[in-house]
Amino acid sequence: MAVIAGRGDLPALVAGSCEVQPLICGYEGVELSGLSADITYRLETLGSLLLELGNRGVTQVCFAGGLDRPALDPTKLDAETAPLVPMFMQALQQGDDGALRVVVELFEKTGFEVLAAHQVAPDLLAKGGVYGEHWPDAQMRADAEVAAAHVLKISAQDLGQACVVGDERVLGMEDAAGTDALLAGLPANTKKKQAILFKGPKENQSRLIDLPTVGPETMRAAHNAGLAGVVVDAGDVLVLYPQRCADLADELGLVFWARTGE
């Protein structure tokens, strides 16, 4: 197996769940956490990467971790990648979801089986219920319904997978800048509304790549933003270090709830 690794802790957690140490592929210039890259590549050398993976006997790949959308530099194209340029240009014009689907399709057409992070590390998938000792009240449950419906409603706009809701009103929506930027830009009165951060998949979300993710840093960021809780959809969101998240939620007085049945 090869792990196509990006930023964050997810790649190391996925690699650590493999019975046999996988080949780690890191994007040039992206610092990995807890891992060292066996192979580095660029968009302009992706064709050579596919060939190298085949030569090394790789049959399965797993994409894990964050990666900003790269720009294509024609001066750095190699011979193996040049024929793929039309596909790249199409992907880069399709938005994040479309681009990811094209990448997955490229690996599958080359003969690799693409596995999702939760298929390799199933314990990372959010399990239904409350993590920790603080439970959601009726208002928080209503806010979670509003949040989930909002994420689904605007799925076609290809924005983010997170929003903040308080008093059944959407106070902020994640975009390409990410969750940290969403939380930093919330209204000053957010704390009074006992608002929540919600994360869940968009409509027709690919489960092979880019599932929403939360971790200890999410708990800290939500607390610093004055939120009352973090809510995720059970079975559709990855939770990094779940016990640490639960302990931190207790320490910070946050509700951390994976809702089910909706």
CATH of the domain at 200: 3.40.140.80
Query: pTM above the 0.85 mark?
Result: yes
Instruction: Map tokens 């992706």 to a residue.
Output: 46
Q: Quick one: pLDDT band at residue 209, thresholds 50, 70, 90?
A: confident
Q: At which of 64, 87, 120 does a domain end?
A: 120
Domain that holds residue 240: 125-259
Identify which of 105, 167, 109, 104 has the alpha carbon closest to the alpha carbon of residue 137. 167
- Please say which residue of 99, 120, 141 terminates a domain: 120
Q: Are residues 205 and 189 in the same domain?
A: yes
Question: How many other C-beta atoms lie within 10 A of the C-beta of residue 248?
Answer: 21
* 187 confidence band (pLDDT: 50, 70, 90): confident
Question: Hunting for tokens 């409350």 — which residue is that?
Answer: 130
Q: What is the CATH number of the domain that holds 22?
A: 3.40.50.20
26 and 144 part of one domain: no
Single residue among 100, 120, 140 that ends a domain in this structure: 120
Domains: count for the chain: 2
pLDDT in tens, 238-251: 999 999 999 999 99
* Residues 113, 146 within the same domain: no
Residues 25 and 109 in one domain: yes
Condensed to tens digits (0 to 9), the pLDDT of residues 78-109 reads: 999 999 888 877 776 766 666 677 888 889 99
pLDDT for 202 equals: 82
Which of 160, 150, 157, 226 lies closest to 194, judged by CA? 226
Same domain, residue pair 129 and 216: yes
**Are residues 143 and 165 both part of a single domain?**
yes
Contact call for residues 56 and 80 (beta carbons, < 8 A): no
